[in-house]
Structure 1
């Protein structure tokens, strides 16, 4: 029996050719592979490992194939080291893949985290309990913890990780957090704003200077995601007031570590305010130009408002969808005239093809019967699509008060000119019980009880049982309603 180990670890590809060549006199690599053995994979599923090994018994030994086998298995992330042992026997070669498994994470420990809920941190970490330990996850985890703290106003949090080695190739991963002092927003200023005061602009954004109530409650910290959104909010506010070429730079953030305060400044280039100029609409035979113009609430001479204009475009699109043109294409265009400080508004409406209702699917109604819901639906399968009827149908179903929520999802089948409607409902408890106690000088103690079902057995029927009793009388009433 002759043996050779052509290489070790992930770098077997380089060593394999060298050692195989130097060992050619000792090993006959022309022999077929007799068997393939796996050693050292105690936690990893051996069938999974074998799936990624493409070397086959009965086939000639191939150095390149074994190199690729090792690469594939290594990428699974289960092992720190992989070695290949080759033994020559009279009737073939035995390949033994020898694995050194990564440690298993027994516990994740968070030390020093007092101002942030531990579960909030744990669920964000890549390292998971009951999985293989990955050293390359640690920098990511530490950065994530710092990010969570920054969003809470702790900008000087430090994190270090200690890996505690245990028996049975297990580890505990401990994240030691030094939270540092919280830093609050001291002041928010705006530069370059002439059309609107700082107070007006402050009302448009989420980021605000901390008040004493924020400090007590733990708020008043900087959120980077909110800062990014605030830039968009400011731009949107200016767009809705005619400043369509406004520029809002990313805010400058300055931290005063000694005072533990953050100072934020937004730089704004307002440019020119624009008013509405000419309004032109090109439609087709479905609606007249006058009918389409009625959907445009912006009028010539008004300050241009982008949000209103978008709503107007939606209204025109909705007009077409009410007549079955669910895929109508309404193209808006605004053309600025810098000299006149106006924008011309051009709208082109292309109706497309008519669309019909395909399937109407109802889900989530575990108790309520389909017919109770369908009788509130104004559209039928095969009928011409109508967005207005769809909206009213949703309102009618909501008004039943049988459901916590009612959502409608449209699924297009454009190749068939059909739209499937999926109605998703979440049922609420529809049985109610009330009890009251009263006192009367004539009847002394008066008791009243009522049982009420608003969706009896899911049939949409209403049943009410009421009992009034005292020392002088007993009243009973039953009410039943079939919608």
Structure 2
């Protein structure tokens, strides 16, 4: 009845828009009222053409067709002799869309979502579509647990038949979880199940973790977590019976009730291998993580199928299928598994395609590839290739896909897509001390100059004590085998007169170095340099340490050394920027070749490791030791001593302020022949910044020592605790630390706040 009434209403409207006419031949068609819509667009929708016979029925069809386009809010058909006049009134166009009060979502994200439902700048404005968009916005907020959200939409007419749309949003407070009940948990304590879930009732850290804020997506993830929790403990028949979410009338608190059926616990009775065992069964057996007699675990079963799939992938079987079929014995509560192996056909790589590199040359990326074109596909080599490209530090993101070649069953392409990042860097370090006030240091570098993969850097330090100007250059692929070559040139002055003692040193030098890859993770570096250092001591100043005066008497004002270096580096990091696992080990030997003015050696070792405690919680541990001494009966030059304290060492203490002091002048730091530094940091992303901002507590320890007159037992380690933050900001990388020394000694120099900042280009 309603449908008939509506049809009659439409017909009557069409009839009123086009009065009854006598049929005639159309000589011409004229359009009136169009502003933005092209005439050709209107003609393409009109069912009437020149030469047609115009009738009432055809006029009604024309009006209906033009209304259906959504471009017009009024359409009339008029006759002027043999001319059909189409009079239209266009709907306004959307000129701008603004959001007021938006905090929960990114504006670009919402704008993109509105476009998908038909509301976007330059689109035709339609009230019904706008109401649909408003409901979609509310739905998005409800998924974030913001049930108190209110959205007021304002449409403002503008000149030239346009409108501006404003969404005024009062997001309200997110609904927090008041209580979670799990009904049916008997074998496993409800307390343990709640601890495994991502969403929780409020705790003392909820202001940071926001784990008490309800989210529909998080609840779905938690249900899957519960399922995995039971399946990993043998409950094969576990199921979630129902989930109820209720909200209080004030829309501020959420109550969640989850009803589950645990089922029975199953033991594994046997594990068999079947199918095409390309490798020997014994080799496959070594990969089976689940054993007969054990409690069933889905996690171990998945590890088994993945290990077999990966093994086949390393042998060139890119499309291997490995599936486990269970056979339940409900009476004995046992399950037997048959793992079916189908390796498919052995696959080779047809072509490697590189995309996204708008600046970096193709060969820079291809030289990091370990999977070769024309060779058998090797999943391990493909993974290593992606990792090596990522570790160059030239790209924000590296993705590798291996789609099959159309029309073949034994070929794949390797598609490498990269997202370029700014590899130029201008960094500035700053600190404040009572001796030097504000200390500035900086560097400018380009690690991918002209997209060639070569590194070029300039270092500058403007501190009163230490002024440096240095240039370094590295070609990581000096040869096609991956041998690197580089050189360094520097000029620096040391002028610690502000500390009360008068000596100055001027050093210049340079050197060449080569790097030899030992394997995928290890590199051996060798180098040879020349250094000339001139010492200027004013003996009349009693604050000059006696060690410095004695060194000048023995070796004169100016000395030349030829330092030869050998170092080993092992890099196992999974990423050069956002490291979450792996680390870097370095061991080095520096020897000033005997037979020149000065001869000595320095030994150093450092180890930095990252551990993923949870998805977002990263533990970083760092240790560094050093030992140095003279050769051929000489003492170690005092300006080659180790120093500790400050950023990159023991935070909370002034830079190079730790270690032995002059007996007569306790404010004078002499450095030492032995060095120990230990750091531990717990890093976590700050909410709303993803991985761009990470912060957490740290604890540092370290000191430098001499072999005589200052021992570990007498001097001891210096300790500090504090907070650190690292932010990859739009302006460049920023790093802050606030350290509080523990057990401050009489002569310690404190510098609690330290930071480094820079920008990329």
After TM superposition, the score normalised by the length of structure 2 is 0.54
Which residue, out of 233, 241, 245, partners 2:233?
241
What is the rounded CA distance, in whole Å, between the counterparts of 2:391 and 2:99 in structure 1?
49
**Range with bigger deviation, 312-321 or 171-180:** 171-180
Does residue 470 of structure 2 align to residue 475 of structure 1? no
- Shift of residue 368, structure 1, vs aligned partner: 4.0
Could you tell me whether the CA contact under 8 Å between 1:121 and 1:148 is conserved in 2? Answer: no
Query: Residues 425 and 34 (structure 1 numbering): CA distance in 2 closer, same or farther, change over 3 Å?
Result: same
Residue 200 of structure 2 aligns with which residue? 208
**Range with bigger deviation, 304-313 or 452-461:** 452-461
> Which consecutive unaligned segments of at least 5 residues does structure 2 have?
1-8, 424-446, 448-454, 494-503, 517-761
Query: Residues 109 and 19 (structure 1 numbering): CA distance in 2 closer, same or farther, change over 3 Å?
Result: closer
What is the rounded CA distance, in whole Å, between the counterparts of 1:406 and 1:121 in structure 2?
27
Tell me how many residue pairs correspond in the alignment: 459
Residue 96 of structure 1 aligns with which residue? 85
Query: Residues 377 and 59 (structure 1 numbering): CA distance in 2 closer, same or farther, change over 3 Å?
Result: same
Could you tell me whether the CA contact under 8 Å between 2:23 and 2:53 is conserved in 1? Answer: no
Matching of residues 347-386 of structure 1 within 5 Å = 347-386=339-378
Aligned to 2:196, the other structure's residue is in SS state coil
Matching of residues 145-224 of structure 1 within 5 Å = 145-165=137-157, 168-177=160-169, 179=171, 182-211=174-203, 213-214=205-206, 220-224=212-216
- Shift of residue 271, structure 1, vs aligned partner: 0.8
Could you tell me whether the CA contact under 8 Å between 1:379 and 1:390 is conserved in 2? Answer: yes
What is the rounded CA distance, in whole Å, between the counterparts of 2:476 and 2:56 in structure 1?
72
Query: Residues 317 and 436 (structure 1 numbering): CA distance in 2 closer, same or farther, change over 3 Å?
Result: same
Query: Residues 413 and 270 (structure 1 numbering): CA distance in 2 closer, same or farther, change over 3 Å?
Result: same
- Shift of residue 244, structure 1, vs aligned partner: 1.9
Residue 301 of structure 1 aligns with which residue? 293
Could you tell me whether the CA contact under 8 Å between 2:350 and 2:373 is conserved in 1? Answer: yes
- Shift of residue 334, structure 1, vs aligned partner: 1.5
Aligned to 2:327, the other structure's residue is in SS state strand
What is the rounded CA distance, in whole Å, between the counterparts of 2:219 and 2:177 in structure 1?
12
Which residue, out of 441, 451, 464, partners 2:472?
451
Q: Which is strand-richer, 1 or 2?
A: 2
Which residue, out of 6, 25, 28, partners 2:23?
28
Any idea what the Cα deviations from partners look like across 1:40-69, whole Å, max 9, x if unmatched?
221223333333335332445577766555
Residue 264 of structure 2 aligns with which residue? 272
**Range with bigger deviation, 149-158 or 183-192:** 149-158
Could you tell me whether the CA contact under 8 Å between 2:79 and 2:85 is conserved in 1? Answer: yes
Any idea what the Cα deviations from partners look like across 1:226-282, whole Å, max 9, x if unmatched?
112221221122222221211124432222335932222221111111221221211
Which residue, out of 50, 57, 62, partners 1:57?
50
Which residue, out of 316, 330, 335, partners 1:338?
330
Residue 85 of structure 1 aligns with which residue? 78
Could you tell me whether the CA contact under 8 Å between 1:409 and 1:421 is conserved in 2? Answer: yes
After TM superposition, the score normalised by the length of structure 1 is 0.81
Query: Residues 165 and 316 (structure 1 numbering): CA distance in 2 closer, same or farther, change over 3 Å?
Result: same
Residue 219 of structure 2 aligns with which residue? 227
Any idea what the Cα deviations from partners look like across 1:197-248, whole Å, max 9, x if unmatched?
2232123222111235545998732112211222122112222222121112
Root-mean-square deviation over aligned CA pairs: 3.7
What is the rounded CA distance, in whole Å, between the counterparts of 2:466 and 2:151 in structure 1?
67
Aligned to 1:412, the other structure's residue is in SS state coil
- Shift of residue 136, structure 1, vs aligned partner: 1.0
Query: Residues 102 and 390 (structure 1 numbering): CA distance in 2 closer, same or farther, change over 3 Å?
Result: same
Query: Residues 257 and 44 (structure 1 numbering): CA distance in 2 closer, same or farther, change over 3 Å?
Result: same
Could you tell me whether the CA contact under 8 Å between 2:267 and 2:293 is conserved in 1? Answer: yes
Any idea what the Cα deviations from partners look like across 1:281-327, whole Å, max 9, x if unmatched?
11325222232222221111222222322232222223333333222
Does residue 459 of structure 2 align to residue 434 of structure 1? yes
> Which consecutive unaligned segments of at least 5 residues does structure 1 have?
1-9
Could you tell me whether the CA contact under 8 Å between 2:92 and 2:124 is conserved in 1? Answer: yes
Q: Which is helix-richer, 1 or 2?
A: 1
**Range with bigger deviation, 448-457 or 270-279:** 448-457
Query: Residues 357 and 159 (structure 1 numbering): CA distance in 2 closer, same or farther, change over 3 Å?
Result: closer
What is the rounded CA distance, in whole Å, between the counterparts of 1:379 and 1:213 in structure 2?
46
Query: Residues 64 and 282 (structure 1 numbering): CA distance in 2 closer, same or farther, change over 3 Å?
Result: farther
**Range with bigger deviation, 412-421 or 251-260:** 251-260
Query: Residues 188 and 393 (structure 1 numbering): CA distance in 2 closer, same or farther, change over 3 Å?
Result: same
Could you tell me whether the CA contact under 8 Å between 1:335 and 1:343 is conserved in 2? Answer: yes
Choose between structure 1 and 2 for higher RCO, CA contacts under 8 A separated by at least 6 residues.
1
